[in-house]
Amino acid sequence: MTSSLQHKLTFDNRFVTQLTADLEPENFVRQVFDAAYSLAMPTPTAAPQLVAVSYDVAIACGFDCDDLAQPLFSKVFSGNGLLDGMTPYAMCYGGHQFGHWAGQLGDGRAINLGEVVTPTGHQTLQLKGAGPTPYSRTADGRAVLRSSVREFLCSEAMFHLGIPTTRALSLCLTGDEVVRDMFYDGRAAAEPGAVVCRVSSSFMRFGNFQLAAKRQDMALLKSLADFTIKHDFPHLLSDSTLIGPDVYIAWFKEVCQRTCELVIAWQRVGFVHGVMNTDNMSIIGETIDYGPYGWVDNFDLGWTPNTTDAQGKRYCFGRQGEIAQWNLFQLANAIYPLVDEAEPLEALLAEFATDYQQQWTHMMASKLGLVQYSAADLPLIEQLETLLMAIETDMTIFFRTLATLKQQQPVDEPQQLLQCFTPCYYNLEQVDELYLTQLAQWLTAYLERISTQNISDERRSAAMNKVNPKYVLRNYLAQQAITAAEQGDFSEIATLQTLLQFPYDEQPEFERYAQKRPDWARDKPGCSMLSCSS
Ligand code: AMP
Ligand code: MG
């Protein structure tokens, strides 16, 4: 009997039909030249089990709620079956890793099943952890449960925060074990294997263009750029003022703008990607490749969740804008042959820096509830950064607390202040007289400033709470859900999924999820230190 699920979705696999395929049909590790992708089948697993699903993604793809309970659903989305119309393939790309050109990387454990046609456009369904591909290099093509839970929860959390991201349709256990040396210290251990199905209108990365350019494969480079512009930036083609190479320049400009907006949004909520290699940069400006990412608990511009980056701090919280520009510079180099003129690309890179600065101050002003921001407010913002760094202060709680202040609030009473802000501090011993004086000074300036706005406290507070989330996927919360899931209890995943759908709302029943990181989680692996091993 064929399942009704079999023909439920409509596929139109443009990546496969419109771009050049690798002619080698066998699935073995190799360098792939002159091709955008290689056909690659997912490798079957022992015992597929659906752990979590995002209902709105499923519905958007064309499924009904009933479909999700069908065995075929978990089979397909764990790599154990295909739906009619799917053509599995792995993409070929390269990238700069930690600032060094790494050559061919590619989808080493991601397999695209196909592009589903939805009312809002084509969406590619991509399994992560579904077995080896020609791009797996020395690795196994698999993913462990812990990293898959993190990817599933965080992509959905980001979406509900209003931040561009790949989505997650489903999370399945494979029933197989995967061996990982989590801290690269020789203590390899078996962990449960899992597969996430990610969904995006494009999984193209800066690295797709880079690899074609590095190999001087101009035909491939042009086809990748034209494909991306045609499907993901179609408005550029209908703009008759863009002639010849102008369309590539306009495209690069938009990639710069989207990347800028993306990183500003990360800074707003305290998200640190952790591995901003150019192969992890989406050409459509989405957050992609959730690895050793983290959320700052205490505001620290130097914080990186990635243990591999603990020394260099290349990808720390405070450097994400600068790194985005560095990555865009690499993309500019890659597409230069299409433009054949350095000056417009250089101008756009310079523009990125000024746009970033401008948008950053604008974003910070919005976090403070400053409606009509002027350059005169910059010192207030900069002083706040210094204050937040002065002692360990929870970023998320601080801004929610700020929104509760009243314009007439007396700020010269240190004890009152302390009471108000106590939930933000990680170590009350750090709250000394000097700090309290600085806090009082800053708050006096802040309250003075907001009283010039002619906006009620209620309105200011409501506006602030729309940009300052109350609930974020704190690292320790994700880790708790993982620990339970590893014991077969998926309820914490479901709870986090539920509450993170409304990150800006007060949800009294979930208040404990809004509290600062508990002390036991300070230096605990998975909570503040994450390795790339996944
Ligand atoms: P990442 O650091 O996750 O962006 O991965 C960098 C590259 O390594 C990408 O090409 C991945 O597809 C590949 N990769 C990472 N983990 C695995 C794995 N377990 N098996 C095969 N390839 C992998
Ligand atoms: Mg990657």
Q: Which atom of ligand 1 is nearest to the CA of 143?
A: 19
Ligand 1 atom with least separation from CA of 277: 4
CA 139 / ligand 1 centre spacing (Å): 8
Strands 49-53 and 167-180: antiparallel
pLDDT for the residue 175: 97
Ligand 1 pocket test, pick from 28, 136, 166, 174 with the greatest ligand atom count within 8 Å of Cβ, gives 136
Question: Phi and psi dihedrals of 268, rounded to 5?
Answer: -60, -40
Tell me the C-alpha distance between 299 and 389, whole Å: 6
Per-residue confidence of the chain (534 residues) as pLDDT tens digits?
A: 457 899 999 999 999 999 999 999 999 999 999 999 999 999 999 999 999 999 999 999 999 999 999 999 999 999 999 999 999 999 999 999 999 999 999 999 999 999 999 999 999 999 999 999 999 999 999 999 999 999 999 999 999 999 999 999 999 999 999 999 887 888 899 999 999 999 999 999 999 999 999 999 999 999 999 999 999 999 999 998 998 899 999 999 999 999 999 999 999 999 999 999 999 999 999 999 999 999 999 999 999 999 899 999 999 999 999 999 999 999 999 999 999 999 999 999 999 999 999 999 999 999 999 998 888 999 999 999 999 999 999 999 999 999 999 998 877 776 787 889 999 999 999 999 999 999 999 999 999 999 999 999 999 999 999 999 999 999 999 999 999 999 999 999 999 999 999 999 999 999 999 999 999 998 888 887 788 888
pLDDT for position 2: 55
Place of tokens 């790494």: 102
Ligand 2 geometric centre to CA of 200 (Å): 15
Q: Would you state the structure tokens that stand for residue 347, as one six-digit string?
A: 């101008």
Residues framing ligand 1 (Cβ under 6 A): 105-110, 135-136, 139-142, 275, 279-280, 289, 291, 532
Q: Which atom of ligand 1 lies closest to the CA of 133? A: 21
> Ligand 2 mean position to 439 CA, how many Å?
41
- Ligand 1 mutation target, pool 107, 181, 279, most atoms within 8 A of CB: 279
Sign of the C-alpha dihedral, residues 455, 461, 465, 467? positive
Cβ-proximal residues to 348 (8 Å cutoff; 6+ apart), any chain: 249, 252, 253, 256, 332
Which two structure tokens, joined as six digits, stand for 262?
Answer: 């993306």
Question: Would you name the residues annotated as active-site residues?
Answer: 279
Reported as a single tens digit per residue, the pLDDT across 318-377 is 999 999 999 999 999 999 999 999 999 999 999 999 999 999 999 999 999 999 888 899
The number of the ligand 1 atom at minimal distance from the alpha carbon of 110 is 12
Cβ-contact 525, 507 below 8 angstroms: no
Q: Which phi and psi angles does 42 have, rounded to 5°?
A: -60, 150
How much distance in Å is there from the Cα of 533 to the middle of ligand 1? 9
Ligand nearest to the Cα of 203, by number: 2
The protein residue whose alpha carbon is closest to atom 18 in ligand 1 is: 141
> Model confidence over 42-95: pLDDT tens digits?
999 999 999 999 999 999 999 999 999 999 999 999 999 999 999 999 999 999
Q: How far is the CA of 96 from the centre of ligand 1 (A)?
A: 13
- Please count the helices (runs of H) and the strands (runs of E) in the chain: 16, 11
Q: How far is the CA of 508 from the centre of ligand 2 (A)?
A: 37
User: Mutation test of ligand 1: which of 28, 92, 109, 184 has the most ligand atoms closer than 8 Å to its C-beta?
Assistant: 109
Question: Whose alpha carbon is nearest atom 4 of ligand 1?
Answer: 280
Nearest CA to ligand 1 atom 11: 108
E-only strand ranges, 181-255: 189-200
Asked if 239 and 254 count as a contact pair (C-beta separation under 8 A), the reply is no
Name the pairing type of β-strands 110-118 and 100-104: unpaired
Long-range contacts of 71-75 (CB under 8 A, 24+ apart): 71/3, 72/3, 72/5, 72/6, 73/5, 73/170, 74/48, 74/49, 74/50, 74/170, 74/172, 75/48
Ligand nearest to the CA of 206: 2
Instruction: Return the percent helix, strand and coil in the chain, to nearest 5.
Output: 45, 15, 40
Give the Cα separation of 493 and 57 in Å (integer). 17
Q: What is the pLDDT of residue 1?
A: 45
Distance CA(27)–CA(141), nearest Å, equals 12
Amino acid at 26: E
Q: Specify the residue with its C-alpha closest to ligand 1, atom 6.
A: 105
Q: What is the pLDDT of residue 361?
A: 95
Share of the chain above pLDDT 70, in %: 99
Helix (H) or strand (E) holding 161: none
Ligand nearest to the CA of 107: 1
- Atom 13 of ligand 1, residue of closest alpha carbon: 108
Protein residue with least CA distance to atom 14, ligand 1: 108
For residue 167, give the amino acid letter: R
Answer whether 0.85 is exceeded by the pTM. yes
Q: Kindly identify the ligand whose nearest atom is closest to the C-alpha of 144.
A: 1
Mutating to test ligand 1, I would choose from 105, 150, 211 the residue with most ligand atoms within 8 A of its C-beta, which is 105
Say how many Å lie between the CA of residue 104 and the centre of ligand 2: 12
- The beta-carbon contacts of 515-518 under 8 Å, at least 24 apart in sequence, are 515/397, 515/423, 516/297, 516/394, 516/397, 516/423, 516/424, 516/426, 517/297, 517/394, 517/426, 517/474, 517/475, 517/476, 518/476
Q: DSSP string of 249-291?
A: HHHHHHHHHHHHHHHHHHHHHTEE-S---GGG-BTT--B---S
Query: What's the CA-to-centroid distance between 136 and ligand 1, angstroms?
Result: 7
Task: Give 443-483 pLDDT, tens digit per residue.
Answer: 999 999 999 999 999 999 999 999 999 999 999 999 999 99
Half-sphere exposure of 204 (CA within 13 A, CB side): 26
Residue nearest to atom 7 of ligand 1 (CA): 105
Burial call 119-156: b when 16+ CB within 10 Å, e when fewer: eeebbbbbbbbbbbbbbbeeebbbbbbbbbbbbbbbbb
Q: Is 121 helix (H, G, I), strand (E, B) or coil?
A: strand
Number of C-beta neighbours around residue 462 at 10 A: 13
